[in-house]
Amino acid sequence: MIKNFRITVDGRSYDVAVEDLDQPATAPAFVPAVSVVHAAPAAAAAPTSHPVAAQAAEAGAGTIVAPLGGVVFSIDVAVGQNVAVNDKVATIEAMKMKTEVMSKVAGTVKSIAVNVAESVETGQVLMTVE
């Protein structure tokens, strides 16, 4: 059985047809998966306010952000420590895999915004290097 739904994603409405595979088909075999019904102008879309997204947008050149969401496994530098480009500054664990976070700038660690075992989101500020 085919069911029709209208969904809205980022201010754009879509009509979709979904087939329930447990029910016998009552519509033709070919049904377009998605068709655009209405595309709202970008200015009309409701702004979303997300603290991490805003934080990442404000991040400067010396700000090191989380490349993915996960849990801070280790912080490998201290405030006042000098770092070079590509020095490991932290490790984030996500789904049992550890990802090393490298400094993209050389300088002195001015602040560390997270703690070990703290959950972080993609783009969240981890530390500042000046």
The reported pLDDT for the residue numbered 53 is 46
The predicted structure's pLDDT at residue 56: 47
Residues 14, 32, single domain; the answer is yes
Same domain, 59 and 119: yes
Is 19 in the same domain as 78?
no
Residue-range definition of the domain harbouring residue 24: 2-44
For the chain, how many structural domains are there in total?
Answer: 2
pLDDT, tens digit, 9 for 90 and up, residues 16-61 = 888 777 766 555 555 555 555 555 555 555 555 445 444 444 556 7
3-state SS of the chain is: CEEEEEEEECCEEEEEEEECCCCCCCCCCCCCCEEEEEECCHHHCCCCCCHHHHHHHHCCCCEEECCCCEEEEEECCCCCCEECCCCEEEEEEECCEEEEEECCCCEEEEEECCCCCCEECCCCEEEEEC
Residue 77 sits in a domain whose CATH number is 2.40.50.100
20 plus 72 within the same structural domain: no
pTM of this structure: 0.56
Residue 19 confidence (pLDDT): 77
Q: Does 34 lie in the same domain as 64?
A: no
Q: Are residues 37 and 68 in the same domain?
A: no
Q: What is the pLDDT of residues 68-114, one digit of tens each?
A: 999 999 999 999 999 999 999 999 999 999 999 999 999 999 999 99
pLDDT at 92: 96
Whether 71 and 120 map to the same domain: the answer is yes
pLDDT band, residue 130 (cuts 50/70/90): very high
| CA–CA distance, 78 with 82 (Å, rounded to integer) | 9
